[in-house]
Structure 1
Amino acid sequence: MFRARRTTLSLALIGLAAEAKYGLAPKKFEALPLGNVRPTGWLLDQLQVQTNGVAGHMHEFYDLVSNSDWIGGDSFYSYLEEAGSYWFNAMVPNGILVNNTVIKEKTQEFLDYVLDHQDESGWLGPEVGTDKPRFLWGRYPFFFGAIQMVEYKPSQTDRVVTALHKFVNLANEMLRKEQGVDKWAMTRWEDFVLALQWLHDYHPRGQEKLLVDTMTRLKWSGVPWEKVFSEKYFPRGPVENLTNPFGLELSWHGVNMAEGLKALPATYRFTHNQSDLDAANLAWDLMFRYHGRPSGAYAADEMLAGLEAVRGTELCLVVEAMFSGSYLYQVIGDLKYADRVERMTYNALPATMTADMWGRQYLQQQNQVAAKNMTPNPFPEDGPYSNVFGLEPNYPCCTVNFPQGWPKFITNAFLKTVDGKSLVHLYLGPFSTEVTLSDGNDAKVVVETLYPFGDTLTTTITATKDFDYFVRIPSWVSGGSISVGDGPKEELTPDEQTGLQKVEVKKGVTVLRLRLPAEITIEKRLHGSIAVHRGPLNYAFDIGRAEQVIKTDPRETHAIDLQYDPAEAWEYAIDPSSLVYHHDTPTSGNLPSPIFDSGLPPTRITASACLIDWPLAGDTFASSPPENPECVGPRRVITLWPFGATKLRISEFPVVSFGEGVFEDVVGSQVPLQL
């Protein structure tokens, strides 16, 4: 059973190991402090859309995080348990990256209140002056937010670091007594380890042994992720009818597993064991082999859900997997992590939000033909309201947690090599960054691009000294090139493991021009179906929808729950040989805002298709894609759009073959709804 690993002998052995070795293994790359990387172009607009939506306004009305409910009152302590901690972690970088004065003030108030009310023992709420047991997990997202505050505003370093060290002393004592670990702390211990590693790397204050001992005790108090993510125990399909071998069902919980993906690289840093990195690589591969989605995420409608297109993916899962993937790349440096994070960010994340980002789903589907109260529903452990777009369909956690997605993606887009001499452009998109590299080399980088809605990037680098600059070349690039200054176009030669293209940059101003074209690629899915990709984007048939407001929040009229019904037929099979990519160059040079909405992206793929007999499996969700379907309607051309811009969609298609021939182009027309 799971708890058998929490033995006195195990803890004693681990304590001895910590005594003997308390240095941390270095990462491959280091993230830059919050504020050093800024979004520009369409990406800045997207973050501003988020700020104008529920993320930037929930502190004004939403009970779980409304500051008026806790400032100056004991009710504050309920907010550090989850919601307030999540909100703080997300809105610190959100407010700073768009320079929103109100949000920056609110997050500062939150930080001040928490630190001002630290218990004498070192505890940071909420279980102060109550009989409620103290559990560790609710503080972990708060730690991430506080660390980001220190990065952006170093004048707060002493106050925050002192409070964290005081808490660590108490936490170590609690772990020695086997206290503070509930079912959530058992699965999310790795988040505390990351905070401890930040203290160890930058502000150890001579407490290295205690910090490593606490990391080790956290690991041995929690889920054995190296076993959960092993060939022997990892589930190959949906888990609702399986028995969990570890006695803790939450080890198969989708969000816990998204966070758990960074547990093994975090463990490696204090064990120095290559086996931990090997296990981390295997974990990633197993997850996406057996549960992965064309959108870049994986399926878990509460628990792991396999490969069926109708099963759900939780929004919290998406943003936590993005964060874990960024950490995995920083520790291990394998291209597969960065490629997958970019797919999630540009597909799964925007797909589960309304375009104005006032509404979100709890669960999204690859094939999603309606978004409404689903009775019956295809989610065995989540409610029928789970795929409605609204303020808090199903559980409220995603409302307060989702805003970390875009800001942390932006913050992790540039890295430094561990020697501090080189700069790495990891995630592709429109960014700017300013950083001082080793030897006082001041470097500024501005990236102009429409990527992922375009294939070219123009990067202007200004530096006071020569240095090596690296840019990631995704695995999907086909026939790309790079030119430096007025030099000729040269073939790309990225490192096979890291995916990084090295450029020797001279002091002064250097302009790089990257061309990163990609081919349309086909991904085989269940039941003989396929998914369609080009570059980082997954493409889907955007089903015309009828919209109905089914609820309006009395505190905020923008906060509405939306029901979407299909307004046109969606039961298409496509001929993969007919796929054609189209790209429109924006006449103004700017993309529409918000870009992730029906018909607005400048890229699309057309496909030869026909209607087939494809029944519903419930009143509002599609059955599995039919195998070997026959056309029941004429051949026609349909348009596939970037997945993130669709709210109702088919993205795993049955396959037909029309052979050679010419047919009438009827792109954009609708056929009658057949339900």
Structure 2
Amino acid sequence: MKINLLAGCTLAVLSLLPASGHSAPQQVSYQAPVYTNLPLGSIKPAGWLRHQLLIMRDGSTGHLDEYYAKIKNDNGWLGGKGDGWEETPYWLDGALPLAYLLDDKALKEKVLRYVNWTLDHQRPSGYFGPITGAEREKHSSVEVSTAADGDDWWPKMVMLKVLQQYYSATGDQRVITFMTKYFQYQQKALDIAPIGKWTDWAASRGADNVMMAQWLYSITKDPSLLQLADKIEQQSFPWTRWMGGHEWVISTTTYAHMGNWMNRHGVNVAMALKSPAINYQRTGDPQDLKALQSGWHDLMTVHGLPMGIFSGDEDLNGNEPTQGIELCGIVEAMYSLENIIAITGDVHYMDALEKMTFNALPTQTTDDYNNKQYFQVANQIQISKGVFDFSLPFNREMCNVLGARSGYTCCLANMHQGWTKFTSQLWYATPGKGLAALSYAPNDLTAKVGKDQTEVSIHEATTYPFNDEITFTLSSKKAASFPLQLRIPAWCKEATILLNGQPLRKDTGNQVITIDRSWKNNDKLVLKLPMDITTTVWGRHSRAVERGPLVYALKLNEKWEKATDEVEGEYFSVYPEGKWNYALIRDNVEKPAAHFKAAVVKQVDDQFVWNLAHAPVTITVPAKSIPSWKELNGVAYQPPTDREGIYKGKVDNTIQEITLVPYGCTKVRIVAFPVVP
């Protein structure tokens, strides 16, 4: 196929290229990650974070298999004829790490049923997964020569992630033998049944498969694994190439129709973010990392929303504050960033991960973690049945409500990996046999450090992201020399570090610093990250108010209503009580520190929940209302502005003090404010 790029080739054309249209395989030059994950279970959540995980254990994460029929009934991943697709592995991808983070015996026993069935029922050829229809009919297992009798590659990619985490927690060597055998099968079978044979889901998400093959290479050093990784990449969507140019992101705005929609599907994009970094591990080509930088910048410029995530409802859908994001998109983007951080060590992605986690993630589930929104909206003035301004309107109008089965149920199964994987990757190991704290939340860490592999424990006490102080207390039976790395976020102008009550150093933001010393029992390190109030610019010249890693939204009292849909079951609608059509004043926006006042109104304790009742910090802001800014079909369409970003229509000139709270504590809100004179 000959394509003249100069003639205006679009992504729609690019996506039709066969495997031979991808760039040729590059010379293998495996790059070890800058940081490596610690064994699952080394980090134990504490404080408010532990409470969040306990809520999940007592809610859907710990019990989804008991009441959700698709997983409960005759499950294919236990040998039955039921679910053999993605939802069971999705659930396990969050439930398994939760079991080990909390050291919960009952939950371990529950998830290990699926792990052990999978490990024990691998076919002689290396194929694995639920028993296929062809296998039942022919009474024979899938072989390389009969690879077409297998099922889609995609769900297996998710289960490989589950098994990787199980190995991280237990060191069970069955996983290494199992994966070695499977990848040997896959190397041959892909010639008969290419990655996209059954669906585009596998072709669009091939990076997850590549990542697992390269992870196994890091353990066994078998070069055939890198050859397999390259073959999968060649058969998958060329995300690295797309992200390295600008045609892809342009086409997501220009050709938003049914053709090639998989290329702009929000969850596919969230998973694909890590593709350039994963390829870089195999190729050593710095152009891959440049593609990542370019792709992330373009994505957030064109589709970015104030809560730190891009629109994806379901497609990438621009940066209007009336757009939203699918819950699966958030947790998959988080996972991509966690892997990007490990591979690159780039602080920019560390900041992005925290912003996404502490803002976009908590708002989209109920306090008990049993209900979720399929799509959240940035400026969300009501949660209700309706079509809204999404690229995927359901006929049942259930995309926006809070329900277990509302929208598609993929998110009901997949949402559990968000908090669990974030917790398990608060810390990383460094090449110098040290430790790196790259995201902050209360936890307890146990690890071996230094050339003598001395075991140390570190208690991280903090109410971050609401408070700016983080205290690390080290416990060890003997002194241990090792480097400790700490991230100083870009939003922090200058961090202060104290050691045992004495000033140690000050550092500017946007870097990872290293403190290399001999650490003694009861050493106490305090990191202070002063949080200034700032404003940032978003779609339609709107402004968001930020403090540290948190974005703040208008506090609106909430009216909850419960109802039942005949297809999707019980759900909640939420409506605001009070006026919401406020705008910020230009002079104040330009000097937020002088006009906006932050106050601690509640202490964050071990019972903290992400809701209005527990919102610990408020920001008071002078504002004016725009009388003509009204709800239309449940949507608060943004008022027009001039070139300077100012709304010049009629404004109520009465200045009112409005209260902002952390975005993650809200269900209905305004976060992207118009600006008035």
Note whether the superposition's TM-score is higher than 0.5: yes
Counterpart residue type for residue 143 of structure 1: L
Does the Cα contact within 8 Å between 1:237 and 1:290 map onto a contact in 2? no
Task: Measure how far apart 1:489 and its partner are.
Answer: 5.5
* 2:619 partner SS: strand
Moved more, 360-369 or 566-575: 566-575
Residue 93 of structure 1 is aligned with which of 90, 97, 104?
A: 97
Moved more, 106-115 or 576-585: 576-585
> CA RMSD, aligned part only?
2.4
Task: Measure how far apart 1:620 and its partner are.
Answer: 1.0
Task: Measure how far apart 1:518 and its partner are.
Answer: 1.5
Does the Cα contact within 8 Å between 1:237 and 1:307 map onto a contact in 2? no
- Residue in structure 2 matched with residue 299 of structure 1 by the alignment: 311
Is 1:453–2:466 an aligned residue pair? yes
Go from structure 1 to structure 2 and tell me whether the alpha carbon gap of 1:552 and 1:104 turns closer, same or farther (over 3 Å shift): farther
Go from structure 1 to structure 2 and tell me whether the alpha carbon gap of 1:507 and 1:122 turns closer, same or farther (over 3 Å shift): same
- Residue in structure 2 matched with residue 668 of structure 1 by the alignment: none
Q: In structure 2, how many angstroms separate the alpha carbons of the residues matched to 1:240 and 1:481?
A: 47
Q: In structure 1, how many angstroms separate the alpha carbons of the residues matched to 2:675 and 2:159?
A: 48
Does the Cα contact within 8 Å between 1:36 and 1:433 map onto a contact in 2? yes
- Residue in structure 2 matched with residue 185 of structure 1 by the alignment: 202
Does the Cα contact within 8 Å between 1:115 and 1:160 map onto a contact in 2? yes
Residue 522 of structure 2 is aligned with which of 509, 528, 545?
A: 509
Moved more, 329-338 or 506-515: 506-515
Measured against aligned partners, the alpha-carbon deviations of 1:516-550 in whole angstroms (never above 9, x if no partner) come to: 11111101123332001000000001322221111
Go from structure 1 to structure 2 and tell me whether the alpha carbon gap of 1:638 and 1:97 turns closer, same or farther (over 3 Å shift): same
Q: In the TM superposition, what are the counterparts of 1:427-442 in structure 2 within 5 Å?
A: 427-437=439-449, 438-442=451-455
- Residue in structure 1 matched with residue 666 of structure 2 by the alignment: 646
User: What stretches of structure 1 of length at least 5 have no aligned partner?
Assistant: 658-675
- Residue in structure 2 matched with residue 200 of structure 1 by the alignment: 217
* 1:399 partner SS: helix
Aligned residues with identical type, % of pairs: 28
Is 1:248–2:260 an aligned residue pair? yes
Go from structure 1 to structure 2 and tell me whether the alpha carbon gap of 1:583 and 1:553 turns closer, same or farther (over 3 Å shift): farther
Moved more, 299-308 or 49-58: 49-58
Q: In structure 2, how many angstroms separate the alpha carbons of the residues matched to 1:610 and 1:621?
A: 20
Does the Cα contact within 8 Å between 2:195 and 2:206 map onto a contact in 1? no
Does the Cα contact within 8 Å between 2:273 and 2:333 map onto a contact in 1? yes
Is 1:325–2:345 an aligned residue pair? no
Does the Cα contact within 8 Å between 2:51 and 2:607 map onto a contact in 1? yes
Task: Measure how far apart 1:373 and its partner are.
Answer: 0.8
Go from structure 1 to structure 2 and tell me whether the alpha carbon gap of 1:195 and 1:98 turns closer, same or farther (over 3 Å shift): same
- Residue in structure 2 matched with residue 84 of structure 1 by the alignment: 88
Measured against aligned partners, the alpha-carbon deviations of 1:544-592 in whole angstroms (never above 9, x if no partner) come to: 222111128999xxx8410112222211112335321112462xxx527
- Residue in structure 2 matched with residue 670 of structure 1 by the alignment: none
Residue 398 of structure 1 is aligned with which of 399, 405, 411?
A: 411
Q: In the TM superposition, what are the counterparts of 1:365-380 in structure 2 within 5 Å?
A: 365-375=377-387, 377-380=388-391
Is 1:231–2:231 an aligned residue pair? no
- Residue in structure 1 matched with residue 43 of structure 2 by the alignment: 37
Is 1:482–2:513 an aligned residue pair? no
Go from structure 1 to structure 2 and tell me whether the alpha carbon gap of 1:31 and 1:452 turns closer, same or farther (over 3 Å shift): same
- Residue in structure 2 matched with residue 666 of structure 1 by the alignment: none
- Residue in structure 2 matched with residue 635 of structure 1 by the alignment: 655
Go from structure 1 to structure 2 and tell me whether the alpha carbon gap of 1:243 and 1:614 turns closer, same or farther (over 3 Å shift): same
Does the Cα contact within 8 Å between 1:370 and 1:565 map onto a contact in 2? yes
Task: Measure how far apart 1:72 and its partner are.
Answer: 6.0
Does the Cα contact within 8 Å between 1:599 and 1:641 map onto a contact in 2? no
Does the Cα contact within 8 Å between 1:136 and 1:180 map onto a contact in 2? yes
- Residue in structure 2 matched with residue 120 of structure 1 by the alignment: 124
Task: Measure how far apart 1:319 and its partner are.
Answer: 0.6
Residue 143 of structure 1 is aligned with which of 150, 160, 180?
A: 160
Task: Measure how far apart 1:459 and its partner are.
Answer: 0.7
Measured against aligned partners, the alpha-carbon deviations of 1:350-385 in whole angstroms (never above 9, x if no partner) come to: 01111222211011111001111114x211223231
Does the Cα contact within 8 Å between 1:472 and 1:501 map onto a contact in 2? no
- Residue in structure 1 matched with residue 277 of structure 2 by the alignment: 265
Does the Cα contact within 8 Å between 1:237 and 1:304 map onto a contact in 2? no
Residue 577 of structure 2 is aligned with which of 567, 589, 598?
A: 567
Counterpart residue type for residue 49 of structure 1: I
Is 1:308–2:320 an aligned residue pair? yes
* 1:476 partner SS: coil
Task: Measure how far apart 1:314 and its partner are.
Answer: 0.7
- Residue in structure 1 matched with residue 138 of structure 2 by the alignment: none
Moved more, 115-124 or 311-320: 115-124
Q: In structure 2, how many angstroms separate the alpha carbons of the residues matched to 1:68 and 1:553?
A: 24
Measured against aligned partners, the alpha-carbon deviations of 1:195-224 in whole angstroms (never above 9, x if no partner) come to: 1122111234xxx22201110001000111
Does the Cα contact within 8 Å between 2:194 and 2:235 map onto a contact in 1? no
Q: In structure 2, how many angstroms separate the alpha carbons of the residues matched to 1:71 and 1:238?
A: 36
Does the Cα contact within 8 Å between 1:254 and 1:314 map onto a contact in 2? yes
Does the Cα contact within 8 Å between 2:77 and 2:118 map onto a contact in 1? no
Is 1:62–2:73 an aligned residue pair? no
Residue 297 of structure 2 is aligned with which of 285, 292, 305?
A: 285
Q: In structure 2, how many angstroms separate the alpha carbons of the residues matched to 1:218 and 1:69?
A: 28
- Residue in structure 1 matched with residue 487 of structure 2 by the alignment: 472
User: What stretches of structure 2 of length at least 5 have no aligned partner?
Assistant: 1-13, 136-148, 642-646
Go from structure 1 to structure 2 and tell me whether the alpha carbon gap of 1:592 and 1:626 turns closer, same or farther (over 3 Å shift): farther
Counterpart residue type for residue 584 of structure 2: I
* 1:74 partner SS: coil
- Residue in structure 1 matched with residue 365 of structure 2 by the alignment: 353
Does the Cα contact within 8 Å between 1:309 and 1:624 map onto a contact in 2? yes
Task: Measure how far apart 1:626 and its partner are.
Answer: 4.3
Counterpart residue type for residue 418 of structure 2: G
Does the Cα contact within 8 Å between 1:234 and 1:286 map onto a contact in 2? no
Task: Measure how far apart 1:101 and its partner are.
Answer: 2.4
Q: In structure 1, how many angstroms separate the alpha carbons of the residues matched to 2:17 and 2:567?
A: 50
Does the Cα contact within 8 Å between 1:492 and 1:501 map onto a contact in 2? no
Q: In structure 2, how many angstroms separate the alpha carbons of the residues matched to 1:363 and 1:535?
A: 26
Does the Cα contact within 8 Å between 2:481 and 2:516 map onto a contact in 1? no
Q: In structure 2, how many angstroms separate the alpha carbons of the residues matched to 1:321 and 1:92?
A: 19
Measured against aligned partners, the alpha-carbon deviations of 1:98-144 in whole angstroms (never above 9, x if no partner) come to: 22322211110011112222223221123534286532111111111
Q: In structure 2, how many angstroms separate the alpha carbons of the residues matched to 1:455 and 1:584?
A: 15
* 1:427 partner SS: coil
Q: In structure 2, how many angstroms separate the alpha carbons of the residues matched to 1:41 and 1:430?
A: 6
- Residue in structure 2 matched with residue 106 of structure 1 by the alignment: 110
Task: Measure how far apart 1:441 and its partner are.
Answer: 2.2
Q: In structure 2, how many angstroms separate the alpha carbons of the residues matched to 1:98 and 1:625?
A: 47
- Residue in structure 2 matched with residue 519 of structure 1 by the alignment: 532
Counterpart residue type for residue 196 of structure 1: A
Is 1:168–2:179 an aligned residue pair? no
Does the Cα contact within 8 Å between 1:140 and 1:191 map onto a contact in 2? yes
Does the Cα contact within 8 Å between 1:428 and 1:451 map onto a contact in 2? yes
Residue 392 of structure 2 is aligned with which of 354, 360, 381?
A: 381
Task: Measure how far apart 1:604 and its partner are.
Answer: 1.0
- Residue in structure 2 matched with residue 340 of structure 1 by the alignment: 352
Counterpart residue type for residue 558 of structure 2: R
Counterpart residue type for residue 179 of structure 1: P
Counterpart residue type for residue 571 of structure 2: D
Go from structure 1 to structure 2 and tell me whether the alpha carbon gap of 1:225 and 1:508 turns closer, same or farther (over 3 Å shift): same
* 2:447 partner SS: strand
Q: In structure 2, how many angstroms separate the alpha carbons of the residues matched to 1:597 and 1:307?
A: 26
Does the Cα contact within 8 Å between 1:119 and 1:128 map onto a contact in 2? no
Does the Cα contact within 8 Å between 1:493 and 1:501 map onto a contact in 2? no
Is 1:418–2:428 an aligned residue pair? no
Go from structure 1 to structure 2 and tell me whether the alpha carbon gap of 1:362 and 1:95 turns closer, same or farther (over 3 Å shift): same
Go from structure 1 to structure 2 and tell me whether the alpha carbon gap of 1:278 and 1:69 turns closer, same or farther (over 3 Å shift): closer
